[in-house]
Chains A and B, each alone.
Chain A
Amino acid sequence: MSSIAHLTRRYYFSASHRLHNEALGEEENRRVYGKCNNPYGHGHNYALEVTVGGAVELATGMVVSLVDLDRVLGEEILERFDHANLNACRESFAARVPTSENLCQEIFRLLGDRWGREPALGNARLERVRLEETSANAFEIHHRDAEGTERSFSAFSVALW
């Protein structure tokens, strides 16, 4: 019998965005998004926590190889979003406002897709993605294995603008 452990790794990337919905008028955008609607955009140092769970492998003492985890995160997330303008990332945000909720979901989707194609990640399961937009705002997505796959999304945020 192996021990089941949950490993969390933090990554950092800097990106800019503007919160604006073309379908709404200027006044409505201003009302909904406040300062986040400023036309030139603004930036954040995002902190991303990725939690992986599974058996502690006897041969390695690890749930997942950090070398492989870092490589996957680098390729799927950091290369896409670090030092990027999220509004210009058309593959991810052509039809969605790049709020941190949507960015968190997009990161979860990208990692989930890659997980199935990456044998090096073995039996470890992607359990949680937590995205900190600022020290006051954080967003999490949890992957709960029920029958089939159940995804729950919880956002908790205290905005101190």
Chain B
Amino acid sequence: MIYLTRKAEFSASHYYHNPALSAQENARLFGKCNNPNGHGHNYLLEVTVKGEVDPGTGMVLDLKQLKEVLNREVIEVLDHRFLNHEVAAFASRIPTTENIAVEIWRMLEGKLPAGRLHRIRLYETHDLFVDYYGEQG
């Protein structure tokens, strides 16, 4: 089994807010991330795919095809967007790093040219990242 990771970047803005909670609770839970005007990040995405090496090509999957899938399914949807207002998935879910990672998994699952999705790692900043392995609990 080989694990192959492809990186991609996108820039987006967001803010954290739950309308079901009070203003004080939102401020306490989310701190500066609750600013309703939003703020932005250069997100770094690592998509890890696992699979066996094809004996003919020597590859787990065609990286050109993986790049096209990533661009079409993820980057074009999220890049240079205000996530809360422009991405349907975040109309009802807070675009935290966790929820974006889970959503990216959902966007890609079943769409890979070969191999299986193993991990989505999403850096919000270089000091904060989330790993999602597709687990449900």
Q: Are the chains A and B members of one assembly?
A: yes
Most buried by A among B30, B98, B131, B136: B98
Within 8 Å of chain A (Cβ to Cβ): is B135? yes
How far apart sit A2 and B137, CA to CA, in the bound complex (Å)?
6
For window 56-103 of A, CB contacts with B under 8 Å fall at 56, 59-63, 65-67
Within 8 Å of chain B (Cβ to Cβ): is A7? yes
Main secondary structure of the interface of B (DSSP, over half): mixed
Within 8 Å of chain A (Cβ to Cβ): is B130? yes
Interface contact B135-A8, CB-CB below 8 Å: no
Within 8 Å of chain B (Cβ to Cβ): is A155? no
Within 8 Å of chain A (Cβ to Cβ): is B71? no
CB neighbours (8 Å) of A61 from chain B are: 16, 18, 93-96, 98-99
CB neighbours (8 Å) of B97 from chain A are: 7
Q: A65-B29, A67-B31 are in contact. Are A60 and B131 (CB under 8 A)?
A: no
Q: A5-B131, A9-B127 are in contact. Are A60 and B18 (CB under 8 A)?
A: yes
CB neighbours (8 Å) of B130 from chain A are: 5-8, 63
CB neighbours (8 Å) of A7 from chain B are: 97-98, 128-130
CB neighbours (8 Å) of A65 from chain B are: 29-30
Interface contact B131-A6, CB-CB below 8 Å: yes
Interface contact B31-A66, CB-CB below 8 Å: yes
Interface size band for B: 20 to 34
Closest-CB distance, A104 to chain B (whole angstroms): 18
Within 8 Å of chain A (Cβ to Cβ): is B21? yes
CB neighbours (8 Å) of A6 from chain B are: 130-133
Closest-CB distance, A120 to chain B (whole angstroms): 10
Interface contact B16-A55, CB-CB below 8 Å: no
Within 8 Å of chain B (Cβ to Cβ): is A149? no
How far apart sit A63 and B101, CA to CA, in the bound complex (Å)?
12
Closest-CB distance, B99 to chain A (whole angstroms): 4
Interface contact B126-A10, CB-CB below 8 Å: yes
Interface contact A67-B29, CB-CB below 8 Å: yes
Which B residues are closer than 8 A to A by beta carbons?
16, 18, 20-21, 28-31, 33, 93-99, 101-102, 126-133, 135-137
Which A residues are closer than 8 A to B by beta carbons?
1-11, 51, 55-56, 59-63, 65-67
3 A-B pairs closest in CB distance: A61-B94, A61-B96, A10-B127
